[in-house]
Structure 1
Amino acid sequence: MQDEDDKGAAIRFSQTVSGRLQNGVLLVVIDNPPVNAASADMRAGLLAAIRHADEDGHVRAVVVTGAGRVFVGGADIREFGQPPAEPPLPKLVETIEASTKPVVAAINGAALGGGLEIALACHHRIAAEAAKVGLPEVKLGVVPGAGGTQRLPRLSGLARAAELIASGRIVAASQALSLGIVDQVVAGDPTQQALALAPQLAAAPLRRTGALTVGSEEEAAIDKAVARILARARGQEAPAEAVRLVRLAGLRPLAEGLAEERATFLRLRDSDQAKALRHVFFAERAAAKVRGLEGIEPQPVETVGVVGCGLMGSGIAVSALNAGFQVIVVEQSQEAAARGHERIESMVERAVKSGRIDEAGRKQRLQRLTVSHALADLAMADVVIEAVFDDLAVKSALFAKLDGIVRPDTVLATNTSYLDPDAIAAATKRPERVCGLHFFSPAHVMRLVEVVRCEKTAPQVLATGMALARQLGKLPIVCGVCEGFIGNRIFSAYRREAEFLVEDGAWPQEIDAAMEEFGFAMGPFAVFDLAGLEIAWARRKRQAARRDPAERYVEIADRLCEMGRFGQKTGRGWYAYPDGVRTVDPEVTALIEACRKAKGIAAREIPKDEIVTRLLAAMAEEGRAVLAEGIAERAGDIDLVMIHGYGFPAHRGGPLFAAGQGLTS
């Protein structure tokens, strides 16, 4: 620690940047809560600090760090879509790198986007163990615009830089060290070590990142990394442009690469894809603001109970274990409980094998897990989530039993997909303690959770459901009660229109190809087969009695189910799956032709543009109905549900955003 006498008076460079001279080192602190964003004021202040250090003979070196737990969390979202403000980030970054005095980045927390670009321009980088770094600009439809694509390859190599930038992946400090992005990782606050090291760097030539030579790599390794990236991009412009710019770093001088990067950034910033991704960005922030929850604090949750340990229940349990909760899972028999424990353990084990957690993490998770066949073991749970068979009688009976077991303040949550949660809540004496938590499968992977506000759900219970979902690493979207809630209701309209297209003349494989070209990872019929055709079939049979006879109805899916074709699980659905490979099946082709003939439909060739337009319009129309009925709070919530739950391409903004851009007309 420095003695108080060694510290100079504080210098205010701007409202968000201050400095203090300590034994010849200017310690510059960025303090722009909550994430130390690179706002215009912050950029101006840091630029002034670097210039001050260059001109002041008492300053031998500079250390830059962030106040709180963040170094620099990226751009200031308040500047999105606004005219550029001085000074631009590239000017700041170039000034740091060109400084005649050593500049050390003490990366105390997240250094993301422009924050990492600032750190890359420093002459040495020391990171805290808890720090994370990344260039996630592609997630907003742009590329780094202040040298990230040109400086990162000079530290990590072309292939690794291409993967990191084009995926927007954020890495921990330990991995950043192995990639060459940071020079040291230290326990605790890196500032003191940076203050000690900075003067020593003045004795040797400064290591300017931009002056380093890009290491030579085998072209095959780069091509392999690029192929993986572009396969995942599915029509997004920014990842492909990021790859092109990273390659340029190995072919052109720094100045040329920086000029091309900046021009590309400015072009993409005004693109339709960037506008869509900014919409998604702001929609996620708006989704956290829920009507009626102003000032409502959620209940504390330490123990999560899960009833049912099939694919969904085990996924929910693993999510809760990953988040650090005590987890009690209950199955209906000792044998089922044993199988459930084995399933959860194997899911945790897979995380170890993939490198997502280590052996210590595996042991910690399993120590917090109890799997039982006795409902009474849920007595001390703070929240109980049911994930049993989607049958109203089964779920109602379970909630009635739980009502006599759990504490009066325990939150009871149903994971139903289509059933009425108000009817389930009515089976308890405390319906105000019930909400819906509709997870998407696989629950330990999928980010979306629909948090269902039942008729009598208490505000604190809803707030607790929202908070729990966030603690699980999920994106919670509040919705009201209707059949299918937001997502399944809109997906049903999507399914219905896809089947109309088949009757009208399009083939399932043509429809899938059109939607995959639009940006979906899988077309609708491939998704139907993956999910299983019997679930929607059961729903259609429940609805049959109240269906309007004059309403258009396609029977092809019902016929497939009657033939035992339930999708991938049976090896046959809309497609056949010999050796697990999706294949057009002549039997399905013949069935479709027969059904068209029976209805007197003259099939026509349907162009892919019409396929896309009709499917998007069906989703948008149902989405507008959901919004008008108050099931969703805002249009952005609907877009988020379809993006994170159903694979709608984020760079298209969601069905309602796309409709507003004229993509459904």
Structure 2
Amino acid sequence: MDTPAPSRTIRWEGDDDHVVTLVLDDPDQSANTMNAAFIDSLDAVVDRLATRRDTLRGVIVTSAKKTFFAGGDLRDLIAVTPETAGRSFEAGLRVKRALRTLETLGVPVVAALGGAALGGGYEIALACHHRVLLDRPSARVGLPEVTFGLLPAGGGVTRTVRMFGVTEALTKVLLDGRRYAPAEALAAGLVDETAADASELTARARAFIDAHPDARQPWDVAGFRIPGGTPDRPELAATLPALPALFRERLGGAPYPAPRAVLAAAVEGAQVDLDTAFVIESRHLTELVLGQTTKNMIQGHFFDLRTVESGAGRPRGVPSGTVRKVAVLGAGMMGAGIAHACARAGIDVVLKDTTREAAARGRAHSAGILERALRQGRTTEADRDALLARITPTADPEELAGCDAVIEAVFEDPAVKGEAFREAEKHVAADALLCSNTSTLPIAGLAEAVRRPDDFIGLHFFSPVHRMRLVEIVKGPRTGPLALARAFDLVRQIGKTPIVVNDSRGFFTSRVIGRFLDEGVAMLAEGHDPATVEQAAARAGYPAKVLALMDELTLTLPRRIREENRAAVEKAGGTWRPHPADAVVDRMIDEFGRTGRAAGAGFYDYRDGRRGGLWPGLREHFTDPALNGADLTGLGERMLFVEALDAVRCLAEGVLVSVADANVGSLLGIGFPAWTGGVLTYVNGYPGGLPGFLTRARELRDRHGDRFAPPDLLVRMAANGETFTDR
């Protein structure tokens, strides 16, 4: 038997059959990452393999962790500066040299993937001759670097181009950052086999070694050609110009440098030898990690998301728990979606509405989702039937007996919600968690309708529930820590991402997205062409254009919220200040009868429920021809600023209690552009930092009004050289 290799994070396990298993197992982390310790270990074990290649029959690369390998250490990448860029560049080349030695040992090397292999993990697998993936629900493979503003620079671009060809590598693996489930990965050729359990995983890896003693990578075989050819081939050259147009259309012109860098690395790397292509990858990565966009995206989409999901907002010291049976009150689109999410997590659901027929329609919503999933191969008939069996539609309140949680999703009216809770409380468990799915109504007022306000909390889901990850947990003034902990655990139990905010009208997400909507409509009021407004939102990186989103929500909703806010301000003795958008919304509703998509007419025209073009009347009634040629970047920046400034106000007022919640909530809940890293990371990363942002806010205030007035918190932090952070 071999003695242990001088390696901290890779365990060497030899056997009498001359097969070495390299077990990735960083003792200092719950997941393996490509940090300095791993790079040292990789060099050590690869050097050892190279010296013993004549006695080896094969190598298996596997992991002792739940995931195979989590990828590059993003703490190292976010910290790269112009002064340290050279060291980062060399570290990347060092990894690729080691992996290149591994794949050219002259013996078969198999990746036995017992869990997720994403990013750097899949790049390690690509350097093996064969890939076997454990078939379990949490397993995923792929190269998602582009979603963090990065590109795969551990050989991922170079090897996928040589596996699939330039076009297919870009569209199937690199540009979307798709994460493939086991069956999908097998069908797409990202892995070669799947295994049902750990023993089969090992057996299949050893079987490949036995059957392929001379295994080599396709690109190391004499006469190899890249599938589809290189970019100098006329047929491929003719298709390449369409790729930049494809991602420009997909991104709407938003400032995402990573897809462009991926495209460049793939096309350039296909025209040179393997080692030169590796260098090209590293050069493009180095350029990205020095840029602000990549740093923003790593912060928001990784570090802040991890902070939120790890439970930073959950009260400490409260034991964790699970919900067994939930009562969902209201079987409309939101209630039906919530019921589906709960049943999907294995929770029994009683879906109650005023009639059993209405409740059955809510259950049918789940059936429709599952039928689509069945057609796409994402579920089985048995799993579909089991999920639907967990949803009981009813109009009888007595069937709520035994429910240990209530999620109310009835009409957004305090009286209706209060009546629903008064009826439910008579039948559910005496200590049931009481949750209201409301998007704007203060929890303090709604809690007056229940007997146990300390067990009452807001759970703001987003539509469509089965696709939207975020849930905004709203803590009322009388909500107890146990209720908050139970709500947090329930949101995690159903696989959603929770942020925690304090009570206020509109909370965080609804309040801030309202600023975005109002600003877009205000631009119409100023005379800007509606197509210009929509293009400005797309150019800024918003996934939904502002006028289209207004139509989806219906124009009557913001007007109702406006009137509720006006009443609340005036009741408190304040003075209500109209917004420039108000007059446009009122004219659209009162003068033109256009209230949005549901009515078949809003800012857009609709036919059979499908959105057509912008309503021509917008130009007739609102557009000033003298404003042609508007600054799209400036208009988009107004949308970004008006949301960011209000997020700072939410933090100053105590509505928000953490920067991570602000960033994650804005990214996952209200479509704040992904390239920013979230609403407060955008402020931190603005040119000139907080002082630069403050200067620009004052310019916008002087030109467009007090909605751009910087809060005192921002002024103070800018003066002190601070940034928005939870540390």
Which of 553, 557, 561 aligns to 2:589? It is: 561
- Mapped partners of 1:159, 1:467: distance in 2: 43
- Mapped partners of 1:265, 1:524: distance in 2: 33
| Change over 3 Å in CA distance of 1:226–1:616 after alignment to 2 | closer
- Mapped partners of 2:111, 2:521: distance in 1: 58
> Could you tell which deviates more after superposition, 348-357 or 510-519?
348-357
Alpha-carbon shift at residue 615 of structure 1 (Å): 2.2
Match of 2:476, SS? Answer: coil
Letter paired with 2:588: L
Letter paired with 1:216: G
**1:5 is matched with which residue?**
none
Alpha-carbon shift at residue 142 of structure 1 (Å): 1.0
| Change over 3 Å in CA distance of 1:343–1:216 after alignment to 2 | same
Alpha-carbon shift at residue 372 of structure 1 (Å): 1.1
| Change over 3 Å in CA distance of 1:16–1:629 after alignment to 2 | same
What do the CA deviations read for 1:240-296 (whole angstroms, capped 9, x no partner)? 332343345554432332222221111112122201101212111222443561232
Match status 1:277 vs 2:297: yes
TM-score with structure 1 length normalisation?
0.91
Letter paired with 1:112: L
Alpha-carbon shift at residue 622 of structure 1 (Å): 0.9
Matches within 5 A, 1:294-443: 294-443=316-465
**1:215 is matched with which residue?**
227
Alpha-carbon shift at residue 529 of structure 1 (Å): 0.8
Match of 1:11, SS? Answer: coil
| Change over 3 Å in CA distance of 1:224–1:401 after alignment to 2 | farther
**1:67 is matched with which residue?**
64
Match status 1:40 vs 2:36: yes
Match status 1:139 vs 2:166: no
Match status 1:583 vs 2:613: yes
- Mapped partners of 2:485, 2:461: distance in 1: 17
| Change over 3 Å in CA distance of 1:191–1:26 after alignment to 2 | farther
Alpha-carbon shift at residue 488 of structure 1 (Å): 1.0
- Mapped partners of 1:277, 1:270: distance in 2: 12
Match status 1:49 vs 2:49: no
Contact persistence 2:530–2:619 (CA under 8 A): no
**1:29 is matched with which residue?**
23
Contact persistence 1:386–1:413 (CA under 8 A): yes
Which of 79, 90, 98 aligns to 1:92? It is: 98
Matches within 5 A, 1:238-257: 238-248=258-268, 250-257=270-277
Contact persistence 2:108–2:213 (CA under 8 A): no
Letter paired with 1:588: L
What do the CA deviations read for 1:613-636 (whole angstroms, capped 9, x no partner)? 322221122111100111112233
Alpha-carbon shift at residue 573 of structure 1 (Å): 1.5
Match status 1:231 vs 2:277: no
Match of 1:68, SS? Answer: coil
| Change over 3 Å in CA distance of 1:611–1:196 after alignment to 2 | closer
| Change over 3 Å in CA distance of 1:156–1:128 after alignment to 2 | farther
Contact persistence 1:61–1:202 (CA under 8 A): no
> Could you tell which deviates more after superposition, 376-385 or 248-257?
248-257
Give unpaired runs (5+ residues) of structure 1.
Answer: 1-7, 597-601
Letter paired with 1:172: A
| Change over 3 Å in CA distance of 1:513–1:80 after alignment to 2 | same
**1:154 is matched with which residue?**
162
| Change over 3 Å in CA distance of 1:535–1:606 after alignment to 2 | same
Which of 632, 636, 640 aligns to 1:612? It is: 636
Match of 1:455, SS? Answer: coil
Letter paired with 1:151: R
- Mapped partners of 1:472, 1:446: distance in 2: 12
**1:200 is matched with which residue?**
210
Contact persistence 2:326–2:348 (CA under 8 A): yes
Contact persistence 2:455–2:483 (CA under 8 A): yes
**2:8 is matched with which residue?**
15
| Change over 3 Å in CA distance of 1:134–1:194 after alignment to 2 | same
- Mapped partners of 2:317, 2:598: distance in 1: 47
Contact persistence 1:298–1:460 (CA under 8 A): no
**1:186 is matched with which residue?**
195
Alpha-carbon shift at residue 230 of structure 1 (Å): 5.0
Letter paired with 1:662: Y
- Mapped partners of 1:406, 1:209: distance in 2: 65
Contact persistence 1:63–1:194 (CA under 8 A): no
Alpha-carbon shift at residue 432 of structure 1 (Å): 1.7
Letter paired with 1:136: P
Q: After TM superposition, what 4+ stretches of structure 1 lie above 6 angstroms from structure 2?
A: 220-227, 602-605
Which of 244, 264, 273 aligns to 2:284? It is: 264
- Mapped partners of 1:357, 1:252: distance in 2: 43
Match status 1:652 vs 2:676: yes
Contact persistence 1:502–1:592 (CA under 8 A): yes
State the percentage of identical aligned residues: 31
Matches within 5 A, 1:489-500: 489-500=511-522
**1:110 is matched with which residue?**
116
**2:535 is matched with which residue?**
513
Alpha-carbon shift at residue 540 of structure 1 (Å): 2.0
- Mapped partners of 1:297, 1:110: distance in 2: 29
| Change over 3 Å in CA distance of 1:457–1:279 after alignment to 2 | same
Give unpaired runs (5+ residues) of structure 2.
Answer: 230-234, 688-692, 697-727
| Change over 3 Å in CA distance of 1:506–1:29 after alignment to 2 | same
What do the CA deviations read for 1:39-94 (whole angstroms, capped 9, x no partner)? 22122213211221221354432221100322112122332334456574223222
| Change over 3 Å in CA distance of 1:51–1:325 after alignment to 2 | same
- Mapped partners of 1:223, 1:608: distance in 2: 25
What is the aligned residue count?
Answer: 651
> Could you tell which deviates more after superposition, 361-370 or 133-142?
361-370
> Could you tell which deviates more after superposition, 213-222 or 439-448?
213-222
> Could you tell which deviates more after superposition, 581-590 or 343-352?
581-590
> Could you tell which deviates more after superposition, 286-295 or 17-26?
286-295
| Change over 3 Å in CA distance of 1:613–1:202 after alignment to 2 | closer
Alpha-carbon shift at residue 141 of structure 1 (Å): 0.5
| Change over 3 Å in CA distance of 1:395–1:221 after alignment to 2 | farther
Contact persistence 2:602–2:615 (CA under 8 A): no
Alpha-carbon shift at residue 385 of structure 1 (Å): 0.9
- Mapped partners of 2:239, 2:359: distance in 1: 46
Letter paired with 2:355: S
Letter paired with 1:266: T
- Mapped partners of 1:654, 1:81: distance in 2: 16
- Mapped partners of 1:245, 1:603: distance in 2: 40
> Could you tell which deviates more after superposition, 158-167 or 303-312?
158-167
Alpha-carbon shift at residue 465 of structure 1 (Å): 1.9
- Mapped partners of 2:387, 2:523: distance in 1: 48
- Mapped partners of 1:223, 1:307: distance in 2: 53
**1:464 is matched with which residue?**
486
TM-score with structure 2 length normalisation?
0.83
Match of 2:327, SS? Answer: strand
Alpha-carbon shift at residue 20 of structure 1 (Å): 2.1
**2:700 is matched with which residue?**
none
- Mapped partners of 1:532, 1:581: distance in 2: 14
